[in-house]
Amino acid sequence: MAGVFRHFAHWGATIYDGGLHTGKSTRICMPASRITKKMAEPAYPSLFDGCELRLSTWIDETRRRAQRQSKADTSTVIEIPAQTLTRLDKATLTNLCHTVIQSGFAVYGWDNEPENIPGALSEMLKQLSLQGGDSGVMREHGDLSLLQDLTGTPRGRFPPYQPAAMNWHTDGYYNAQDQSIRCFTLHCVEAAAQGGALRLMDDTFLVLALHDENPELVKLLSHPEAMTLPHNRDKEGHDRPDRTLPMIFQHEDGAIAIRFTTRSQNIAWHCEATKAAAKRAHELIDANPHWQTRINLKKGQGVITRNVLHTREQFIDRAGYPKRQILRGRFTQLPQPELASQFTYPSDDHNHAVR
């Protein structure tokens, strides 16, 4: 489907008594003057612009993938010999990328631990065209961030650096549209003594569930002003302005995606109906556990994802056990093995090992 849908349609709405009408007699959204203004902006995903053939094709394809996912063997781990990390064979590269695109994620495992873990991981990811990581996050090893319990430190105020459970979200949901995260990776350097498992769900399945229940839910969450996220400025170098963004959107290559968070504090919703639609989206995630996969990464294992919906269970570090350490990468592109031939292999001594 990539590359098929490139043109965005104008935001469309039915005016009813000064508001947006969903087929009921209740006024739920903006004044007509503001809707008219927004109709001139290319914001509404073209997939939902009224072309029945295009939409039905996407629905059928997404439903087939959802059915396959509910029956799939999610215990599969793509084994990668450590000695091949700097020069993966074409079959492994293709397998990793195909699995990420089709299933939303791929789990891999190294048979041995290299001396320089961040360096070896960076070399592997570069062969998948994953480089030039998200500049909006703190990074210690090139494109990679080391996630661990930093409670009591300035970084410890951010959820990835806390042991508490993290609710459903997609990475970088607050990023500007042109900096949308297409892929995140997690590599387990050390597992927690207890807990820390991930749960993953393809975000397009959620869009499908919303559309199946009521297409108006998709329209509300696709509005260019669906949610406004507050600014963030701190001593760690974050300086992000207020961001007003749609929750459901379309990438330039035509792929439908969702920027999702269950946080409610300080988010300004476009209207009460949009807020209710976001709440319903969360309920639909919980209502479809058969689309979810639980993964508890072991030491030397990692996951490469299409920035699908995910949670993390609470974890516990205990005395006498190694502290949980996860290397995370966030990228604005998808893995693409066909670009691997353009990669030149640098020396192995440009990073320091994580210990």
List pLDDT tens digits, range 107-138: 999 999 999 999 999 999 999 999 887 755 66
Per-residue pLDDT at 351 exceeds 60 = no
Per the model's pLDDT, the better-predicted residue between 18 and 63 turns out to be: 63
Per the model's pLDDT, the better-predicted residue between 158 and 4 turns out to be: 158
- Outline where DSSP puts E strands in 111-258: 144-147, 166-169, 183-190, 194-195, 198-201, 227-229, 232-233, 239-240, 243-245, 248-250, 256-258
Q: Give the pLDDT of residue 99.
A: 94
| Average pLDDT of the residues in 12-24 | 32
- Summarised one tens digit per residue, pLDDT across range 148-196 is 999 999 888 889 999 999 999 999 888 888 889 999 999 999 999 999 9
Per the model's pLDDT, the better-predicted residue between 134 and 3 turns out to be: 134
Q: Give the pLDDT of residue 84.
A: 87
What is the band of 26 on the pLDDT scale with cuts at 50, 70, 90?
Answer: very low
- Summarised one tens digit per residue, pLDDT across range 58-103 is 999 999 999 998 888 877 999 999 888 889 999 999 999 999 999 9
Min mean pLDDT across 16-20, 119-123, 335-339 is at 16-20
What architecture is the 74-342 domain classified under in CATH? Answer: 4-Layer Sandwich (3.60)
| Residue 231 contacts residue 241 (beta carbons within 8 Å) | yes
Q: Give the pLDDT of residue 44.
A: 76
Q: Give the pLDDT of residue 1.
A: 39
Q: Mapping DSSP to helix (H, G, I), strand (E, B) and coil, where does residue 166 land?
A: strand
What is the band of 237 on the pLDDT scale with cuts at 50, 70, 90?
Answer: low
What's this model's pTM, rounded to 2 decimal places? Answer: 0.81
- Summarised one tens digit per residue, pLDDT across range 275-314 is 999 999 999 999 999 999 999 999 999 999 999 999 999 9
Phi-psi region of 49 (alpha: psi -120 to 50; beta: other; left: phi over 0): alpha
Per-residue pLDDT at 27 exceeds 60 = no
| Residue 187 contacts residue 146 (beta carbons within 8 Å) | no
Q: Which of 244, 242, 217, 222 is nearest to 231 (CA)?
A: 242
Per-residue pLDDT at 232 exceeds 70 = yes
What is the C-alpha separation between 69 and 123, in angstroms, rounded? 30
What is the C-alpha separation between 306 and 260, in angstroms, rounded? 14
What is the C-alpha separation between 128 and 78, in angstroms, rounded? 15
Phi-psi region of 80 (alpha: psi -120 to 50; beta: other; left: phi over 0): beta
Domain residue ranges of the chain, discontinuous segments joined by +: 74-342
Give me the amino acid identity at 9: A
What mean pLDDT value characterizes the chain?
82
- Residue 4's CB is within 10 A of a number of other CB atoms, namely 13
Q: Give the pLDDT of residue 139.
A: 55
